[in-house]
Amino acid sequence: MKKNLTLIFSAFVLSMYAHAQTAEQIVDNYETQAIASNVEYKFAQTIDDDATQRVYTQRTFQGIPIYNSYSTYVIKNKQVISKTASENFNISLKNAAVSPALSFDQVINKIAQAEGLKVIADTKVNQNGVYISKDDAAEIVYYINNENQAILSYAFSYQLVKENQNDIIHVVIDAINGSVLEKHNNTLSCGHNHGSFHNENLATFNKADWDWLYDDAVNTASPQYNVYQLPLEAPNRGARTFADQAVSNTTASPNGWHNTAEGSVKTRTEGNNTRTARDHESKGYQTYSSSTNTVTIKDTDYADGGSALNFDFPIDLTNHPYTNWEAATTNLFYMNNMMHDIFYNYGFTEANGNFQKINFDKGGTGNDDVVALAQTGLALGAVNNATFATPADGKSPRMAMYLWNKTPEPLIINSPSNIAGNYQATIPTWGGTLTSTPLTKDFVLILKSETTGTPYDGCGTFTNTAEINDKIAIIYRGDCPFATKVKNAQNAGAKAAIIVNNVDGMINMSGDDTTITIPALSISKADGDKIVKELQNKVIVNGSLVKTEVSYIDGSLDNGIIAHEYGHGISNRLTGPITNANCLNNLEQMGEGWSDFFGLMITQLPTDKSTTKRGIGTFATNDAIDGSGIRATAYSTDMTVNPARYGFLKTYGNSDSPHNTGYVWASMVWDLNWKMIDKYGFSPDLYNGKAGNNMALQLVMTGLKLQPCSPGFVSGRDAIIMADEQLNEGANKCDIWSVFARRGLGYSALQGSTNSRTDGTEAFDMPPVEVLNCELSTSELKDSTFQIYPNPTKDVVYIVDKTIKNDIKVDIIDMVGKVVSTQTVKFDGQKGSLTTNNLPKGIYILKFKTDNGTITKKLIKN
């Protein structure tokens, strides 16, 4: 047989050329067909990630970068398998200015004047000022406004230090007139008045399920940490136990938790992943500098385990948290390392911008271990908070853990015995004051004659004034201001007033009336309902109101809050290039939601159910462990408990905090976790497990990498669908769609602008059958004799099946599940052909509708 050696040699050369192509060349070749003709771009970053490469390009105009305008490409086997882009990547632009009218010095001086401070260049933080580093020099960019106009601008970050504030501020300033176009605080503040965790049953906790975390045989040759070990969320879930180095991930932390960049081993709470210390004087908080990676921490502020690395320190939760600082610092050190080691398994690695002092030549910049400050803020008068500042790769983030005011228990029920005890209550800034001498009286339920509101809301004409005199009045919330209710009770002769909440949770009573002299306080609905029930049954309820001393709870012991804060660093670094820390500054971004999700995931128990109520921070906020917490509701798949939907964002509005937006997103991905558990089971092993919860966590983590800079809910959903295609060949696509559709993020949902929470449209539909037939299970899609070739292909695909006698219809579907082309394949008796020359390079699903049923095939387009 004669061979065509010229053709063989040409094919060999082409093959060698394809193999030798760089990631950037592959993207360039891909974009010759896919990109709009008027769009120019530059390469921003390429990240090698396991079996794939992730390439970021930044849109340019007139040779100048467009602010936060990126495309993300994933390359596998020398092929682009997915692409996402910021919403401003493909817009048409007209001519714009190319030369600034203001210098950068003029702009930064305007900023400093507005802050009432002076500019301080590149020095250690030691005074109030606007700090500018040479590494944070401004970038000239085009900022795209709401009219799609390109505005020449300076984009840069500065560190703002004044009073009790030390934050990283990112701004975009018009380079022509100096106006502020965007301003964001990159120190995310999570004053956790928003969410709490709840694990319903730790009585069935089985250590055998957690062998990867626990070792009952104490290894005295290994570091020992007496901490609240995962999956324990906090001290209100169980006692401390000893963790040793066996709980670490040796791939993520090959030299352990105490090795530093200098190669030495520290005996204190310091290592390659984190520097963790107490900060009672708030000096660490005030002196932290993101630009120089410096912070003032005294040697005596680290917990020191000695040469044996034995971090076993006493703790007494009835004392002031400062007396337990070594135990708290150890717990915070443990949790930062556990977050590092767990999420390394799911792709938060050196190349993807994780937090390490040295990166072991595995990619990324290094020199960015987490500065974790325990028990900070009180010296500055700051409590009830936790913050995480995330600069770009190569600069250390700062985690600040605060103390929390313990909700006082000024209410004591003396009788009847079935409800006797101490009760939490909140006290407003107005009204009479409690004293250390108890005010003891019988309780009375206020009644009114009006039919508006509720009978017990205290907002009308009282019908039991004589009974109220010299008693403590019980009043329900609603229908009129708090101060009005209390003043009405005072006028009726009450000696104090207790307002009962009409929804779950506690109330912070607003109002101000200097004529009110009786004490007022508020209690939860659950506690109030107990009292009201007894009064309705004509039982005498007697109680006392007494002043309680201010006490604090230590956030450094709440693993859920620590995980939430660390989660901000993960989502910030994985969204967009790791050189850009500003891709989650838009209004519809879901940063708070990912952080909640991460905290929920690492504290799951095998005994939990999908309907188990979960929240964030019950220990720090002194909530009851079965309460709904400080989010809008507890997290649950039961929509009567957690009704969150995409449409809620419109009701929140653009002036709302990001926490409610995050609550809706976390509700969706938490449902996804349970959908995957129902399908694949649960594993407590977050290092080696392959069950549904592990798969859900991986889908969300990979989705973070695939989504565009400045994402919204729809782009976040689509990124998770792409992640399933990349990780699982789309095996869970229908399940993922059903989860999102159930909460209003269905196929027809519209995102609108990602910089608005009010212009989205919710929808509850699944993809149409012609796009994704979720009525057929995988086992029903039989190939029989049906074959396609070549695969991968370039211009044409041939279909062979001798049983097919008629022409067939084929849908070509992209990785998100949308039909990009529909063709009719004509058969000649045994084969037909399908043209693919107009398709962009990538992976597609071909759905053939034949007389024998629907058949799907996966196709790679070169």
pLDDT per position as a tens digit, 19-41:
568 999 999 888 875 555 568 89
Q: Is the pLDDT of residue 94 over 90?
A: no
SS3 for 794?
coil
- The answer to whether residue 565 is catalytic is yes
Return d(Cα 244, Cα 297) in angstroms, integer.
Answer: 26
Alpha-carbon 159 to chain mean position:
24
Bridge partners of residue 808, in order along the sequence = 825
Task: For residue range 258-289, list pLDDT tens digits in order.
Answer: 987 566 889 999 999 999 999 999 999 999 99
Contact 148, 110 (CB under 8 A): no
pTM over 0.95: no
Q: Is the pLDDT of residue 453 over 90?
A: no
Residue 713's pLDDT is 98
DSSP string, 182-244: EEEE-EEE--S-S-----S--TT--GGGGTTT--SS--TTS-EEEE--TT--STTT---EEEE
Contact 844, 814 (CB under 8 A): yes
Q: How confident is the model at residue 308 (pLDDT cuts 50, 70, 90)?
A: very high
Residue 9's pLDDT is 42
Return d(Cα 434, Cα 546) in angstroms, integer.
Answer: 6
Return d(Cα 389, Cα 375) in angstroms, integer.
Answer: 17
Write down the architecture of domain 23-85 according to CATH: Roll (3.10)
Mean pLDDT for all residues in the chain: 87
User: Which amino acid would we find at residue 196?
Assistant: S
Which of 151 and 841 is assigned the larger pLDDT?
A: 151
Residue 778, number of CB atoms within 10 A of its CB: 9
How far, in Å, are 668, 672, 704, 765 from residue 741 at the CA level? 9, 11, 20, 6
CATH numeric code, 786-861? 2.60.40.1930
Residue 193's pLDDT is 41
Q: Where are the beta strands (DSSP E) in 363-463?
A: 370-376, 386-389, 398-405, 411-415, 421-423, 439-445
Q: How confident is the model at residue 5 (pLDDT cuts 50, 70, 90)?
A: very low
Alpha-carbon 174 to chain mean position:
31
Helix (H) or strand (E) holding 110: helix 104-115
Task: For residue range 711-728, list pLDDT tens digits in order.
Answer: 999 999 999 999 999 999
- CATH T-level assignment (fold) for domain 411-549: Glucose Oxidase; domain 1 (3.50.30)
Helix/strand/coil (H/E/C) assignment for every residue in 723-786: HHHHHHCCCCHHHHHHHHHHCCECCCCECCCCCCCCCCECECCCCCCCCCCCCCCHHHCCCCCC
Residue 261's pLDDT is 59
Helix (H) or strand (E) holding 60: strand 52-61
DSSP string, 468-509: HTTSEEEEES-SS-HHHHHHHHHHTT-SEEEEEPSSSS----
- Lowest mean pLDDT, pick from 44-53, 420-429, 778-787: 778-787
CATH 3.50.30.30 domain position(s) in the chain: 411-549
High-pLDDT (> 90) share of the chain, %: 60
How far, in Å, are 138, 158, 640 from residue 133 at the CA level? 10, 8, 51
Q: What is the mean pLDDT of residues 789-802?
A: 82
Catalytic residue among 87, 350, 565, 762: 565
Contact 72, 83 (CB under 8 A): yes
Return d(Cα 778, Cα 735) in angstroms, integer.
Answer: 12
Identify the top-confidence range among 443-452, 773-782, 784-793, 825-834.
443-452
Residue 66's pLDDT is 95
Task: For residue range 582-615, list pLDDT tens digits in order.
Answer: 999 999 999 999 999 999 999 998 888 999 988 7
Residues in the chain: 862
Q: Identify the DSSP state of 826.
A: P
Pair of tokens at residue 644: 């969150």
Q: Is the pLDDT of residue 545 over 70?
A: yes
Task: For residue range 480-497, list pLDDT tens digits in order.
Answer: 999 999 999 999 999 999
Q: Identify the DSSP state of 303.
A: -
Which of left, alpha, beta for 115 (phi over 0: left; psi -120 to 50: alpha)? Answer: alpha
High-pLDDT (> 70) share of the chain, %: 89
Which of 42 and 793 is assigned the larger pLDDT?
A: 42
Pair of tokens at residue 156: 């840069």
Q: Is the pLDDT of residue 290 over 70?
A: yes
Helix (H) or strand (E) holding 14: helix 5-20
Q: What is the mean pLDDT of residues 68-94?
A: 90
Q: Is the pLDDT of residue 517 over 70?
A: yes
Helix (H) or strand (E) holding 72: strand 64-76
CB-based contacts of 594: which residues, under 8 Å, 6+ apart? 567, 570, 571, 662, 665, 666, 669, 700, 704
Contact 73, 54 (CB under 8 A): yes
Contact 241, 226 (CB under 8 A): yes
CATH class of 104-185: alpha beta
Q: Is the pLDDT of residue 809 over 50?
A: yes
Q: Identify the DSSP state of 399.
A: E
Contact 848, 854 (CB under 8 A): yes
Pair of tokens at residue 201: 């049953």
Contact 760, 713 (CB under 8 A): yes
Residue 36's pLDDT is 54
Q: Is the pLDDT of residue 14 over 50?
A: no
Task: For residue range 376-412, list pLDDT tens digits in order.
Answer: 999 998 888 999 999 999 999 999 999 998 877 899 9
Which of 83 and 226 is assigned the larger pLDDT?
A: 226
Pair of tokens at residue 850: 């034949």
CB-based contacts of 32: which residues, under 8 Å, 6+ apart? none
Task: For residue range 753-793, list pLDDT tens digits in order.
Answer: 999 999 999 999 999 888 888 874 333 334 446 788 788 88
CATH 2.60.40.1930 domain position(s) in the chain: 786-861
Q: Identify the DSSP state of 435.
A: -
Angle, vertex CA 556, rays to CA 553 and CA 562, nearest 5: 125
Contact 43, 66 (CB under 8 A): no
Q: Is the pLDDT of residue 222 over 90?
A: no
How far, in Å, are 150, 244, 332, 534, 653 from residue 753 at the CA level? 17, 48, 39, 53, 13
Residue 262's pLDDT is 64
Task: For residue range 548-562, list pLDDT tens digits in order.
Answer: 887 899 999 999 999
Q: How confident is the model at residue 831 (pLDDT cuts 50, 70, 90)?
A: confident
SS3 for 652?
helix
